[in-house]
Amino acid sequence: MSSESQLRDFGRLICNVAAGQYLSRDEACEAYRQVILNEQPELQQGAFLMAHIARGPSTEELSGAWDALHRYDTAKIDAGDPDGPICDIVGTGSDPVKTVNCSTPAAIIASACGLSVAKKGARLVTGVSGASDIFEILGVDLNAPLSQAEACLRQHGICYLPGESFLKSGWARLIRSMRFTSAFNIIGPLTMPCENTSRIVIGAYAPHICDQLIDVLKEIGMTGALAPFGRVDGMDPEKGMDEFSLAGPTRVTELRDGEVKTYNVTPADFGLKTVPIEKIASSRTAHGNTRRILAVLEGQCDTPEADFFCMNAAAALYIADMADSYARGIEMARQAVADGRALAKLAALRDIQGHSG
């Protein structure tokens, strides 16, 4: 526990933040370090977190909070010396439109196209199933040591990193006890358990969150990133999904080599037809969603689910410079499903990260 002088210093910091003062990236990192490592009383931790989110964190402050989470609470794997970029495909969750799980099959399909993918995720927070629920049903051992994920990435260009494994005591303690929004809701999806990750597709539940995520990714030095907010034709444009939409246009914030731009894409930009949201809506159970995913990986190419998964895999190929357009990316993704490479990639993942180890 901190000394009396450290307690008073942190108390003054809380008052300063509540009064509207901003912290430098280093100052924010130090404050969040003390929270993550439980060096302050819980009363002071909660007061700081609420004061910060109520005032509104700056990009520099969010980057400092990310630094603290990355340095002090995220277990890491090393991909070695890969031939090309390593990508992550993930969503923030909490989106009002619930679809069949998309980032999980998209990660497998993108990897089948030759892109190394270090996919992270967790169990469901909202909706029916999170990535960990799907991967567990597909045969991945969520309790396997991270060394197996590292070996899988090095050997097969894909791995799954459950948040339950790579986020250590600080995050777990805070999530168990917090019932209010904090900066962790923004930076949590940006954790980098694979330090070699240089590209990411990270969907968010609202347009302004997409922009915040990209601002932080730019600040921490990410090479390329896409933050999609998918909309649904005929629905309130503020309600959507944290992935590229097959049911309407998608607002995309793109980061590439330090430059940021925002634009809209439609299924037609991928060479696809728009479908009713019911065609890609979530099943009622995790097993139902998993069956639909497995059907596509087993080669069912001409379904709305296949188009949905492949368009999100195409986005990863595009931001990783493996495809010069979304349309070219989906051609590559469709071929990887049709010729069995996607199913083979799942088998390779299970071979190393499955229950048999």
pLDDT in 10s for each residue of the chain, 357 residues: 679 999 999 999 999 999 999 999 999 999 999 999 999 999 999 999 999 999 999 999 999 999 999 999 999 999 988 889 999 999 887 788 989 999 999 999 999 999 999 999 887 655 677 788 999 999 999 999 999 999 999 999 999 999 878 988 787 788 777 778 788 878 888 999 998 999 999 999 899 989 999 999 999 999 999 999 999 999 999 899 999 999 999 999 999 999 999 999 999 999 999 999 999 999 999 999 999 999 999 999 999 999 999 999 999 999 999 999 999 999 999 999 999 999 999 999 999 999 764
- What is the Cα–Cα distance from 272 to 288, expressed in whole angstroms? 25
Residue type at 128 in one-letter notation: V
Nearest to 165 by CA among 33, 38, 75, 71: 75
- Angle, nearest 10°, between helix axes 304-319 and 326-338? 120
Under DSSP, the state recorded for 267 is: G
pTM of the model: 0.90
Is residue 121 within 8 A of residue 163, CB to CB? The reply is: yes
- What is the Cα–Cα distance from 145 to 83, expressed in whole angstroms? 25
pLDDT in tens, 21-46: 999 999 999 999 999 999 999 999 99
Residue type at 111 in one-letter notation: S
Domains with residue ranges and CATH for the chain: 4-73 (1.20.970.10), 86-165+192-353 (3.40.1030.10)
